[in-house]
Structure 1
C-alpha cells in the first residue's frame, strides 16, 4: 500500500494512534484478526486505531479492495469518492440479502448476530430496520418518520436546541474538577443530542440515562453485554409504546401509534419498536462525537478558529467541512450486489458484500484539494458523504448539522478562552477500538478559562 498524499493521517488533532492489537476483544472476534494476511479485516488494529491513515492507504491501493468483514466473511471495500457515491445511489446494491433475486437463504448476517451475542428472536430489530431494509419497506418506514426531519420542521426545533445548549453551557463550571478541567463529552456533547432526540421521540427524562448505557453496551461488541442489554432495551421500548398508547402526545411515538391505527396495522409492533430504537440510538451517538471532534479540530487549528470568530456566518459551511474531515461515522451499512456489477474495472458478483468507506471518500485527493487540511471556507464541502448519500442518506442529517452549529457557535462564544487541558499529542482518547466504522472520543478535557 502506498502512503496517501497530504499531511498527517490523524486529522482531528488527537494524539498518536496505537496499532497494538486490542486485548479486550471477545475471543470470538479476537481469533478472526489476521486469518487472511493478504486481505485486511475491518477489525485490524491499524484500521481501528487510525481509520484516516489506514483506509487512506487502502484507497491509494485501489478504488475497490478485497477485504474481510468483522465476522471474517469476504467483502469489497469501496474507498474513493466517486465510487462510494456511485454505490450508494445504485439500486443494484441492496441493503438486505433478501432483496437479491432468487435468494433463498441462509442470511449471511446471522453469523454476525451470533458473534455479537444478539439473541436470535431479537435479531429482527437489527436486520429489518429502516437502515437495513430496501424499497418498498424502506420507503414506507422512512415516510412514517420523515416529517419530523423536514426542512420546515428542523428550524422549528432550533429555539429548543438553543435553550438546551445554553442550560448545559451554564452548568459546565459546576462540573469542573479540582484543576478546573471539565469533560466536554460527558457534560455537553452527549447530553445535548440525547435530550433533543428523546424529546422528539417521546422518551421520558428519567429513562434517558438508560439509553446511554444501551448505546455503550452495543458499542462494546462484547457478546455478554449485548446479549444481556439488547432484550432489556427492546422490552423497555415496548413499555414506552404501551404507556404512550394510553396517553398520546405530540411526539414521534404517538405519531407512529396513530399511523398504525389509521393504516390498518401496516406498521406492526416489531417495526415500531425497531424504529424507536434506531431513531434514539442513531440520533445522539454520532452527533455527540461530531461535536467533540469538531471542538478539538478548531482548538488545534487557531487560524480556522480565528476565521470563524470573525464571521459566525461560516458555521453551516464549517460543519460540513468538519464532518468531512473528522466525522465520527467511518462507513455505511453493508450493501449486496443484486446482480453482477462492474465497478471501477472490478467484477462484483451477485450476492457479494460491498462496504462503502466514507472516511476514505471524504479524504480522497482526487476530489478534494489538499484533503488533510482543515479549511472552513472550502468550496464543495457540502458534498461530503459523512451522512451517506442516495436513498439511505441519513434522515436526521439536517438536525445533526443544526445541533452541531448551535453547539459549536454557542460554546465558543460563551467561553472565548476555551482550551484543551492537555497537549494535543497527550490527549487521552478511546476510539472504541472494538467497533469498526466509528471514531469516538471517550472524554475531552477542557479548561473554561473564560468562565465567570
Structure 2
C-alpha cells in the first residue's frame, strides 16, 4: 500500500476525486494520526470506525470550533458574518446544543417527515419531466444541475420557507463556504459569507413581518425555552439550509453514479422494489459518504484512544466519516458497492456513520433517506436507457474535507426513452 503524502491538500483535484487510498494507508498505519495540512496547520485525523464513533460520542471532544483549524484571519465584515453564521448547533456543546436541537427536532419528527412523501413524489415527477425535455432538446444533461441539486433545495425550501427564486444564489454561496479557499478565486469565500449573512438577515425580517406555516417562521416566533436570539436564528437558517440540501444533493448524485456504473445493482433494485431501493440508499451512504468529515472538534483535555493514540488537550480533531465507513474491520470488501449488505437478515452490515453518531447525529437523516428512496426509483423508471456520458474516473468532485460528491454528472438517454 502506498504511503500517504507528507502534506494533505484538500483542494487537490486528484485527492478530491479519490481520497480513499490516502485514508486507507493512514487508517492501516495510524487510525488516529496528526497530519500536516497544506494551509500550514496540523490536525488529528481519525480514520478508523471504532475510533470515529468514540470521538463523536465523547464530550471531551468539543464541537466549539478550534481556533487553530485554519489560517489566522484578520477582522473584516466577512469574518464577522462567518463567525455569526457559525454559531449553529453543530458548533456547540451541551447545554446550548441540547436547547437548540430540541427547538428544531419537532419539525423533523417521523410523522412530519413521512407526511412529505406525496410532495416529494410530485416534485420528483416535475423534475423528471423537465429532465426529459432537456434530454430531448440537447441530447444530454447534467444530473446534478437538473435533478440532484433542485430536488433537495425545493424540499428544504418548503420546510424552511425559502423562496424558490433564491435557490441558485444560495447554492453558489453555500458551495463556496463549503470549499477550501485555495480551490476558489481570491475573495470568493469571504463574499459568500457576507452574502449569506445579508440574505438570512432579510429572511428573518420578512418572517417577522409576514410569518408562514414553515419551520423558519415557527423558529422566528417561538418563545419557548427563551427562543432563539437574532444570532442564533441566522446560524440556524444557514445550518438547516446547508445541511438540508448539500448532503442530500451529494447522496442523490453519488447514488445515481453508482447505479449507472453498476448496472446489475440497478437491475436488482428495479426487480426487487422498495426494500432493495432502501438498501441501495444505505449502501450509497456508506460507500460514498456525502459528508466526508464531521465539523472540527477540539480536545478539552488529553484523550487516550488506545493503541498509542494519545491526543493532547487543545488539539484540532477531524473524524473522517468517509474513511470510517470503509474500515475493513467492520465492512468486508469495503470498496465494493454491495447494497445486499444492508438487506434484511442476520448478515446485515454494521451501522454506517454517514449521518454521524452520538448527540450530534443528523436531525434530518430521515428526510434525506426519504428523498433518496422516493426519487431514485422514479428517476430510473422514467429513463430505463440512461447512460453516463463521461469517464467516471474523470468526473470533478467537491474539494475539501467536509462534503463530498460529483460536481457534474453528464448523462444521455436512449432514443427509446
Question: TM-score with structure 2 length normalisation?
Answer: 0.90
Cα distance 1:117–1:300, how it changes in 2: closer, same or farther (>3 A)? farther
Per-residue deviation, residues 293-347 of structure 1 (Å, max 9, x unmatched): 1111111112211211111121222211111011222111111112221112211
Cα distance 1:178–1:410, how it changes in 2: closer, same or farther (>3 A)? closer
Cα distance in 2 between the residues matched to 1:216 and 1:254: 25
1:62-211 aligned within 5 A = 62-69=30-37, 71-96=39-64, 107-109=67-69, 112=71, 114=73, 119-176=78-135, 180-211=139-170
Cα distance in 2 between the residues matched to 1:116 and 1:305: 51
Q: CA deviation at 1:42?
A: 4.5
CA contact (8 A) 1:317 1:382 kept: no
Decide which moves more: 226-235 or 404-413.
226-235
Cα distance 1:286–1:113, how it changes in 2: closer, same or farther (>3 A)? farther
Name 1:394's counterpart in structure 2. Answer: 362
Name 1:327's counterpart in structure 2. Answer: 289
Q: Say yes or no: does 1:411 pair with 2:348.
A: no
Q: CA deviation at 1:250?
A: 0.9
Q: Say yes or no: does 1:247 pair with 2:207.
A: no
> 3-state DSSP class of the match of 2:390?
coil
Cα distance 1:72–1:358, how it changes in 2: closer, same or farther (>3 A)? same
Cα distance in 1 between the residues matched to 2:191 and 2:138: 38
Name 1:338's counterpart in structure 2. Answer: 300
Name 2:396's counterpart in structure 1. Answer: 430
Cα distance in 2 between the residues matched to 1:441 and 1:113: 30
CA contact (8 A) 2:281 2:373 kept: yes
Name 2:404's counterpart in structure 1. Answer: 439
Per-residue deviation, residues 52-72 of structure 1 (Å, max 9, x unmatched): 221111111121111134543
Cα distance in 1 between the residues matched to 2:2 and 2:264: 27
1:251-400 aligned within 5 A = 251-260=214-223, 262-264=224-226, 266-312=227-273, 313-344=275-306, 345-379=308-342, 380-381=348-349, 383-400=351-368
Cα distance in 2 between the residues matched to 1:247 and 1:212: 25
Cα distance in 1 between the residues matched to 2:197 and 2:337: 41
**Unmatched tracts of structure 1, length 5 or more:** 5-33, 99-106
Name 1:22's counterpart in structure 2. Answer: none
Cα distance in 1 between the residues matched to 2:380 and 2:196: 36
> 3-state DSSP class of the match of 1:385?
coil
Cα distance in 2 between the residues matched to 1:451 and 1:148: 42
Cα distance in 2 between the residues matched to 1:66 and 1:118: 33
> 3-state DSSP class of the match of 1:284?
helix
Q: CA deviation at 1:119?
A: 2.5
**Unmatched tracts of structure 2, length 5 or more:** 343-347
Cα distance in 1 between the residues matched to 2:329 and 2:195: 46
Cα distance in 2 between the residues matched to 1:333 and 1:253: 23
Per-residue deviation, residues 336-377 of structure 1 (Å, max 9, x unmatched): 112221112211111112211111111111111111121111
Paired residues, number: 406
CA contact (8 A) 1:387 1:394 kept: yes
Cα distance 1:356–1:234, how it changes in 2: closer, same or farther (>3 A)? same
Cα distance in 2 between the residues matched to 1:325 and 1:242: 41
> 3-state DSSP class of the match of 1:287?
helix
> 3-state DSSP class of the match of 1:75?
strand
Cα distance 1:386–1:116, how it changes in 2: closer, same or farther (>3 A)? farther
> 3-state DSSP class of the match of 1:327?
coil
Q: CA deviation at 1:90?
A: 1.1
Cα distance 1:97–1:304, how it changes in 2: closer, same or farther (>3 A)? closer
